[in-house]
Structure 1
Amino acid sequence: MSYTAILPEHEAIINFLKSRRLSLYVSKPALRHIQEFFIAATAKGYRGKVVDIAEWSSCHRTSIGHFLSDGVWDESYIQRLVKKESLSFVLSHGKHTEQPIFVIHDDTVSKKTKPSSQAKHPIEQTDDHHSHLKGKTVWGHQVQATIVQCGEHSLIHDIHRYDKSSQSKMDDACDLAKSMPIPPHSGYALVDSWYTCPKLINAYAERGYHLIGALKTNRIVYPKGIRVPISTFASYVTKQDVCLVTVNGSAYWVYRYEGALNSIENAVVLLCWSLDAFQNPKALHAFLCTDVSLETQTILDYYSHRWPIEIFFRQTKQNLGFDGYQVRSIRAIERLWILLSFTHLYCTIGLGQPSKFGDGLIMVRKQVKVDYVQWIYESAKNQVPIETVLQHLKLA
């Protein structure tokens, strides 16, 4: 029996893969495994495990495990493809709409169970990493991700494991900054306080991007030439010095400082308190913007565009098995992440029209169900025994 007769063809996914010329870089069996990954990863209940992929495949899980860890296929082509297509889309949209391009960096920890000293085959390259979400050190892989955005469209651009033995997190981010194309109108890098530093500011400035980032309140500013930490300076701010700004439906008291910081000649620093917590030290938040021409409202509105990367981490962990993998080799893990980013790209711009990931995921799930119903219907028309159909669907 032919390969295509074993399980239904999913024309939309196949056309997407063909249009990206994957057949030039991977074999037919590998291409089939990639298609099966798309189907499994977008199905309800997917946990990121090889056995989940096997449920949607004609192959045994050991074959899929071999495909991930030792299979001969060029995953770097898919990685480059995701980067190229995400940038191409947002640059085209930015040129057409004259809206700014946003490049958003962040990292997360994929938590794993720490192996005992007796473990013979632990997951490779795991280590202790600080988790900002949990506020403590956890065992696992630290992953850096980059989202590119224009208007309402947010696309995954890059996702990879951070290897602290090879270079610093900042150097890693600077390397990616240097690969960014010059924005057609304006561009901004959006980062949390970990990445707000002169080195990254300069790397992005060379490519024509400003940086908007959170600041730790122990950073030094120089109002009227006086050297003082932000937290100390903020204690002298009065209600007459601030203005009320509303961002995404929430109101904040905001003080605007423009001047020097340590190693930064000139920038805007915004000191923000929520409406009912003015001068509460624990409620103080600070943000830096290197584009001093922007109004206070615009800076905070732009920084709110950083939220999609948090949504990306949450959605991929809940729906695409981002941290549920159990394969042990680092090559298999990194291949899984590349296929995950490719699947995410398919759900956002691979369905005929751009859509949010959640909407695209629903569309893919529906189409896969339709393909299976159609296949069962055609099997019945061709008088294929029900036992054979059930066997192929792994229900026998």
Structure 2
Amino acid sequence: MERITGHYLIETPYNLEDAAAVLAGEQSSGTFVSVPGETEELKERFAARIENIEELDEVKNPSIPGDINNSKYKRARVSISWSVENFQDNIPTLISTLQGNLYELRQFTGLKFDDFDLPHWYMGKFRGPAFGADGTKQLAGVKSDRPMIGTIIKPSVGMSPEDTAALVKELIEAGIDFIKDDELMSSTANSPFKKRVELVMKEINDFQQKTGKKVMYAFNISGDLDTLKNNYETIVKNDGTCAMISINSVGWAGVKAIADMGKLSIHAHRNGWGMINRHPMLGINFPAYSKLWRLAGVDQLHVNGIRNKFWESDESVIRSIKSCSDRFLDHKELLPVVSSGQWGGQAFDTWKFTNTTDLLYMAGGGIMAHPSGPAGGVRALTQAWEGAVSGKSLEETEKAHKEFAESVQKFGKK
């Protein structure tokens, strides 16, 4: 049978081969002791298999608590494989295996799930993104030669539907491509979801009637399954094009149930990402994470940004952006959502290191706090990307465009 392979970064005070064998046994047919029925035939068919061990360095101190004190903790890259027969097409069970109890094994003082490979058997089993990067940009009327330019409604919580709609009108008249609810905003006492959708989409649909441009708004539909479905249908009834889901809160099965409805581009917000990724030797890395959500069918996925306001390194962000376009089964590419303290100044390095405009480039303060207002902020981001893609430097672009020059003065000195 074809096999699924998981790739891990491990740290252990034990012999590497012994530690890897514990991981393989615990995550397939084995336990801490031999049990009746665990025949050689059963193990041959269902047991996990160590495929590769690449020894790395040693450290003196454990990254996380383990079961013994030692003067040396060995690190390695390890690949473990499982037969497709163990899971068939049950992805929650696959997730439980690839990143389940293995984090609790006392043999490890560090374990990071880095990536995984699925065999040909999975081709056609999951549709993946309905729109992906290209389809989402087409829905927003954005050509392939530039990123989508987006922003977030601020303040995050507390604005009335009328106030939100008024801000949306200002933003769409400024030339924005994409606007989204903050992840903290769903349906509040002073902003019921249904009313907010109706008023916001009236502004968007009226603007489309006048100009032909349909701005994409990502309404946060997160909730239990009934709430997800009802909110989704409210967007569809009002001619919206996008729904946002806090994927770590809703879970894989809930996200897939909504993505399978197939009428809206799914904006996947990864709030809580730091909890599962921030420690360098614990959790999951983006290549594995993004594949799991592609299987669920999301179209857009947050990746942070260059010189972001959070903790994540530029190297990690660049790897994340690139992994969204990695070939994976027959699935469409994801649209990376670049955000977190972005303004036009980071466009030049983002282009330099990724060489792609298949991005949703979002700026909150970088647009809202622009000296010439939101319209100036949108123009400045567009000018920055035009300059970057055409090979101009930040300094050359600053000299050529008033709005971008104002951005440099406002944000570039911080």
- Structure-1-length-normalised TM-score: 0.25
Higher relative contact order (CA 8 A, sep 6+): 1
